[in-house]
Amino acid sequence: MDDLVARVLTYNPRADIAHLRAAYDYALASHEGQFRRSGEPYIVHPVAVSALLAEQKLDDATLITALLHDTVEDTTATRDDIVRLFGAEIADLVDGVTKLTNFQLNSNETKQAENFRKLFVAMSKDMRVILVKLFDRLHNMRTIKSLPQEKQVKKARETMDIYAPLAGRMGMQWMRDELEDLSFQVLNPDARRSVLRRMARLRGVAEDEVEKIRYDIAHEMTGEGILATVYGRAKRPYSIWRKMGQRDSDESFNRLSDIFGFRVITETRMDCYHALGAIHRRWRAVPGRFKDYISEPKVNGYRSLHTTVLGRDGKRVEVQIRTREMHEVAEKGVAAHWSYKDGEPMENPYSVDPAAWVGGLSEYFEAGTDVAEFFETVKLEMYADKVFCFTPKGEVIKLPKGATPLDFAFAIHTRIGLACVGARVDGSRVPLWTRLRNGQSVEIITAEGQSPQATWIDIAVTGKAKSAIRRALREAQRDRFIKLGRELVRGAFSNIDKKATDKTLMAAARNLGLGSDHEELLSRLGSGEITARDVVTAVYPELAEAEAEGELVEMRRAVLGLEVGQSWERGSCCQPVPGERIVGITQPGTGVMVHAIDCPRLADYEDQMDRWVDLHWQPGRHSASFGIPLEITMSNDAGVLGRVCTLIGEQKANISNVEFSDRKPDFYRAMLEVEVSNVEHLHRVMTALEADNNVAEVRRHRESEERP
């Protein structure tokens, strides 16, 4: 307690020390006989939380609340006692923290939404409530090792999902980084140890480099007459792991900029840009790595210039440039509102009060919004992977990060999205594929008679937009898809000696949840949303199962050279068929992966010859069919797709699936999975297709397998 008092007096000589000591004495008496899991007296925790808040130079009321925050929850103390001894303001703050103590994540969605509501209502009344709660969580995470493993995981997940993003949203990025890293240590200790090992390896090599780079930057500042402090800082393991894309490869972790960043703290805003110019004159800037958060601050008030340059020996160096006042906001976030200096509240022109944001959420809920909708809104607001844009009338539209004006249009109304022909962002005309940023104003341009383009599917990000576009495209091309679907289903039913009558298709539609609209069934089949096998199975599950079982038995007999009990499957990389020279690679267990002899993947096993198995196809005609994906580029004219299906049918081959991609006004590409019996059969199908004037290209599509 003496250490805490000494710390408070360094920034607030006018602090009411008697009041602080009275709060300590009351908490000490209330928690008498209580111990933490670590065996320490319980009073250690509230004093530690208060000390953390004192590091942020916060006011007396916040520090006293931290000392008392567990008294009402865990002891015989009451709210009336707190009012009588410490006043209504502190009683309200303690009460707010107490109400958040039972905040749980592992409950159903409605309960989660209610807990979120309590959290934000408490924050809207006084932001210091959540400040105490955040520092309470920080100390608990720093001492989490004393808890049982199950509770550690639960607390860490809750911290990673809720408290860390909330700290970041409130501008306390340092706290977010530490909370995430402490959670990372519990949730994925192996990954963190791996990052730490490589950090130590790289740090040992780079320490001299860091000091040299810091000196170089400081030297440039002095030469330009800029008064600035320059220092290098090591990044946290979780931050590095996330930046590396959660990959565990040494190749992606070999640059100085992977673990170190540099900061230049100047006196004035003008000096920030002056310093940036000096750095860019001295070193070459890396394209696309410059951000000006001074002219366009983040929503939590963060301001800084970010750049990456090629420093000594071409090494990448990340630099942040900001003033001391901006740095204060970057370090403290919302806590800067209650910070003191020399006994007076600090005035910082760059700080942003997020109380308006929290208050807006509370009003949103109190307006009677559906609980689930409120829950989604809160999550959108809290997480940094969202953007918030405005309509010309000032209405806020919330979208995922990476969203485009198309997503914005459909978020307003499906009718507006379908009629969209263009967009203006902040008054300037932009392409529909433009990625929107926080705070931008978006105006959607519409026109009568406009209809969605197939390329919109790749532009849109939100599920709502993609679904509406697909539905509109399906309706626009319904007739063509119905014809194609009828051709696909005819071949599938003929394989089991059945006919695809309208009555049969109506039954299939009912079983697939499409009512009795068999044309809708055919349309979805033709557009690739369902497969012909799905339709057959919906009507004749036994026959479809028997056919599949029969094919499976036939396929098992099709390969010679396997040991008794060994199973096999075709490699998706080359998808060999009878008639092609094959070889097997044994897999963990008893299975064998069959590859064509010219498959590039076999090069990966050149040093593992003990896994190679010499295989041959069973001679003679095979009754089993083997699916081969064919990528076909054809003209976008009426009847062409139907003609392609007819040509395949004439070669006694069946189409089991269709996927469309890369649609253009003149040509488009489709992936057809064609079932053939052998390589000669495949060649006949491809030759027939290549001979058609409307088919520009036919090629056998081969995918890359994941490495074992």
Taking alpha carbons only, the member of 635, 666, 633, 630 closest to residue 648 is: 630
* Nearest Cα to Cα of residue 5 among 30, 32, 33, 24: 24
What is the radius of gyration, based on Cα positions, of the chain? Answer: 33
Long-range contacts formed by 656-663: CB under 8 A, 24+ apart: 656/492, 656/531, 656/532, 656/533, 656/627, 657/528, 657/531, 657/532, 657/627, 658/484, 658/488, 658/526, 658/527, 658/528, 659/528, 660/454, 660/527, 660/528, 663/453, 663/454, 663/455, 663/636
Residue with tokens 């940036």: 276
Look at residues 468, 473, 449, 454 and name the one whose alpha carbon lies nearest to residue 407: 468
Q: Catalytic: which of 55, 70, 74, 126? A: 74
Cα–Cα distance measured from residue 552 to residue 542, given in angstroms and rounded to the nearest whole number = 15
CA 271 → CA 143, 200, 325, 343, 350, distances in Å? 42, 35, 13, 29, 16
Of the listed 73, 292, 520, 529, which one is catalytic? 73
The token pair at 545 is 């199962």
CA distance 498 to 456: 39
Cα–Cα dist 315/208, whole Å: 14
Residue 60 designated active-site? no
Q: Which residues contact 176 (CB under 8 A, 6 or more apart)?
A: 164, 165, 167, 168
Q: Phi/psi at 115 (nearest 5 deg)?
A: -65, -40
What are 588-591's contacts with CB under 8 Å, separation 24+? Answer: 588/708, 590/565, 590/566, 591/566, 591/567
Active-site residue flag, 74: yes
Specify the length of the chain in residues: 708
Give the Cα separation of 480 and 522 in Å (integer).
10
Count CB atoms within 10 A of the CB of residue 437. 14
What phi and psi values does residue 606 have, to the nearest 5 degrees?
Answer: -65, -30
- CA within 13 Å, CB half, 504: 14
Look at the alpha carbons of 108, 109, 114, 116 in this order and tell me if their dihedral is positive or negative: positive
CA distance 36 to 391: 52
The whole-angstrom separation of Cα 389 and Cα 381 is 12
Amino acid at residue number 13: P
> 535, 508 in Cβ contact below 8 A?
yes
**What is the C-alpha separation between 537 and 504, in angstroms, rounded?**
12
User: How wide is the angle at C-alpha 618 spanned by C-alphas 707 and 627, nearest 5°?
Assistant: 50
- Compute, in degrees rounded to 10, the torsion defined by CA atoms 9, 14, 15, 18: 100
Q: Name the nearest CA neighbour of 437 among 426, 423, 422.
A: 426
Q: State how far the Cα of 226 lies from the Cα of 690, in Å rounded to an integer.
A: 70
What is the C-alpha separation between 407 and 390, in angstroms, rounded? 13
CA distance 659 to 678: 23
d(CA 211, CA 232): 8
Other C-beta atoms closer than 10 Å to the C-beta of 662 total: 13
Q: What residue has token string 């509109």?
A: 472
- Give the residue numbers marked as catalytic: 73-74
